[in-house]
């Protein structure tokens, strides 16, 4: 038997469920819980500083090969400042150590010393990077985060697999990763600083 009260009850129940889901999403966003795919999506809206923006390369232009979200650490060690007497120490960057995610939130590879990027699906999908001369960088809008960069494939280390034709590597949308403001007290100290970033791999078209 049809009951209007039953219909209204179902309507209010559905509304309550949707409201709960919406509130949970809002809470996650406010708490900084954002998926790798969302990070990648949001990074497409960023204005890229001219110092690390890609050349137009007309008439062929450029094509993005891949975009990954990285989550991990930036490793630092203490090193004596040159000429300091008595000895003073500073943090020196050692290497990154991060997991790469794609736009569907799947773990797809690693980012490590080199710097290097490798996809776990195939050992043949790898690329090493190096700085341009002079280096191309831009300060992050967040003062406690590492710089944004544009790198090139490393000389003598040909990119392979999906990265085979990559001409440019960009690090953008960084969060964290900068060496502590408090300097090390002595030799032998190490520290791992959490960070996230988005990496773009782009090829120059013929």
Q: What predicted TM-score, i.e. pTM, was given to this entire model?
A: 0.82
Give me 130's structure tokens.
């190096």
**187 burial level (CB within 10 Å; 0-12, 13-18, 19+):** exposed
- DSSP 8-state symbol, 162: G
| Sign of the torsion formed by the C-alpha atoms of 84, 89, 90 and 93 | positive
Residues 60, 191: Cα–Cα separation, whole Å: 44
Residue 185 — very low, low, confident or very high, per pLDDT cuts 50/70/90? Answer: confident
Give me 93's structure tokens.
């960057």
Residues 28, 37: Cα–Cα separation, whole Å: 15
Residue 97 sits in the same domain as residue 177: yes
Within 10 A of 83 (CB to CB), how many other CB atoms are there? 6
Residue 119 sits in the same domain as residue 187: yes
pLDDT, average across residues 184-189: 89
pLDDT, average across residues 134-156: 97
Residue 18 sits in the same domain as residue 114: no
Position 18 pLDDT exceeds 50:
no
Residue 27 sits in the same domain as residue 99: no
- If we measure between CA atoms, which residue out of 37, 34, 62, 42 comes closest to residue 173? 42
Residue 89 sits in the same domain as residue 177: yes
Total domains in the chain come to 2
Residue 16 — very low, low, confident or very high, per pLDDT cuts 50/70/90? Answer: very low
Alpha helices in the chain (DSSP H): 4-30, 36-43
Residue 26 sits in the same domain as residue 96: no
pLDDT, average across residues 22-45: 68
Residues of the domain holding 53? 36-204
For 192-201, what is each residue's pLDDT tens digit?
999 999 999 9
Residues 11, 170: Cα–Cα separation, whole Å: 49
Position 151 pLDDT exceeds 60:
yes
Residues 103, 92: Cα–Cα separation, whole Å: 32
Residue 14 sits in the same domain as residue 102: no
């Amino acid at each position: 038997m049809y009951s209007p009260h039953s219909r209204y009850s179902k309507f209010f129940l559905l509304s309550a469920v949707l409201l709960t889901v919406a509130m949970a999403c809002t809470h996650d966003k406010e708490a900084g819980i954002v998926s790798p795919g969302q990070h990648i999506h949001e990074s497409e809206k960023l204005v890229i500083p001219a110092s690390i923006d890609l050349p137009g390369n007309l008439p062929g232009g450029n094509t993005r090969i891949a975009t990954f979200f990285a989550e991990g650490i930036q490793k630092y060690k203490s090193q004596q400042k040159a000429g300091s007497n008595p000895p003073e120490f500073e943090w020196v960057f050692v290497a990154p150590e991060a997991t790469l995610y794609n736009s569907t939130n799947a773990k797809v590879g690693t980012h490590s010393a080199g710097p290097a990027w490798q996809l776990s699906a195939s050992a043949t999908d790898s690329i090493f990077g190096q700085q341009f001369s002079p280096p191309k960088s831009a300060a992050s809008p967040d003062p406690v985060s590492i710089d944004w960069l544009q790198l090139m494939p490393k000389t003598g280390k040909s990119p392979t697999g999906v990265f085979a034709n990559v001409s440019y590597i960009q690090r953008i949308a960084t969060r964290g990763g900068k060496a502590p403001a408090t300097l090390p007290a002595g030799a032998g100290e190490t520290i791992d600083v959490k960070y996230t970033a988005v990496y773009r791999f782009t090829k120059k078209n013929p």
